Amino acid sequence: MDATSRISNVSGHPSGAGAARDFVAVDDSGEFSYHRSELDLMTAFEYVAEAACIFDRSGNAYRLMLDPNRHLVLGPPLGPVEFHWLRQTWLDAQNAHPESHRLRRYFPLTANEVVSDLFESLSLEHGPEPAGGSWSLEINNIASHPPNLEAIDRRLAHQHRLEEAQVTDPFGHIYRPVLHHKHRHLPAPAGVILYLEIPARTKLPASLPLSPKTAS
């Protein structure tokens, strides 16, 4: 699919966070990254075609361009990013790189949802911690508040029964941790913990199958 096909022709675009100038980018290999500023975005890429798609919190798509001095710059907005392409590329990235994308939320049904989920999930996994909320880890009805996802990983590494734990992110989404093996023949320490979204106040059995997002 060429770059122009990633821009939707429909009118309107998802509502976003207004003044926020952070971005999500998809590189030429289909991998996603979060960038907290335009400067951060510019330093992450070396050539124009390296960024297949860039979009802001309003869902507006951008491309990289060269200025008259042949320096990389962010081009003008090109309209809303194409929803179906974005959602499928995000699912592909989760399946290809489960160790990099471990927060698995419900399947997004609208352009608003996929853009919001991407900004929230990528910033929680790889960006600054949100100012307005905190993580919560509950094990056997005892709650604690680790500072970030890495701290939750460390605590769950000593937990023999992950199904007894629930995790709530700073945006209020609730997850059940599951140990995932990308390769079935690797030993247990080679697995990564994925966090599968569940309804509020729900305890799920350990035998529950993984969602399509966790398939390798």
Q: Taking residues 24-46, what's their average pLDDT? A: 95
- Which pTM does this prediction carry? 0.79
Query: Residue 139's pLDDT is what?
Result: 92
Of the candidates 97, 85, 84, 168, the residue with the CA atom closest to the CA atom of residue 126: 97
- How do residues 38-83 score in pLDDT, each as one tens digit? 999 999 999 999 999 999 999 999 999 999 999 999 999 999 999 9
What one-letter code names the amino acid at 155?
R
Query: Residue 140's pLDDT is what?
Result: 87
Burial of 136-150, coded b for 16+ CB within 10 Å and e otherwise, reads bbebeeeeeebeebe
Q: Taking residues 179-206, what's their average pLDDT? A: 69
- How do residues 109-166 score in pLDDT, each as one tens digit? 999 999 999 999 999 988 766 656 799 999 988 999 999 999 999 999 888 888 889 9
Which of 11 and 77 is assigned the larger pLDDT? 77
